[in-house]
Structure 1
Amino acid sequence: MNLETIIDGLSRDQQIIAMEMLWKRLSQGPDNAAPPTWHRDIVAERVAGLQDGTESLSDWADAKKRLAVRLQ
């Protein structure tokens, strides 16, 4: 049984708990761990968008509200 099948068999609440456990373990790793290339690419795109005016910053409270609406 592969990991994806196991995750698919979990309830939504169990998936969130698993994600939190995984994040806790990953965040306790070495500080010198480089972010993946895809993540650096996304950050670079967003910074470029801020610099050229095609992107804007959001207040965290507003961003959470928009996410909550999307997830309903």
Structure 2
Amino acid sequence: MQEQLPLNRMSVSEKLIAINQIWDSLIQTSDDIPTPEWHKDVLSARRKRVEDDVSQFKPLETVKQELRTKFK
């Protein structure tokens, strides 16, 4: 199935809705999506930084609030 979305005729709002629908669809079949090796490497490096007390994880809600404050 090769359908083309009329992107040049879609508003930004319509495009964002389409993106969200695509993500929702991908999440339902996420086990079928292979994880690239480089992604595993990045996650391993980040985990090591946390274990070595060089970095720390923050809750997603905290990060969202920090970004909202920064970009007001």
The bucket for the TM-score relative to the shorter chain is 0.5 to 0.7
> What is the TM-score of this pair, normalised by structure 2?
0.62
Count of aligned positions? 66
State the shift of 1:71 in Å.
4.3
- Alignment partner of 1:54 is 2:54: yes
Unpaired runs of at least 5, structure 1: none
User: Corresponding residue for 1:63?
Assistant: 63
CA 37–63 in structure 1, closer or farther in 2 if over 3 Å, else same = same
Unpaired runs of at least 5, structure 2: none
User: Corresponding residue for 1:43?
Assistant: 43
User: Which contiguous aligned blocks of 4+ residues in structure 1 show a shift greater than 4 angstroms?
Assistant: none
Higher Cα Rg: structure 1 or 2? 2
Identity %: 21
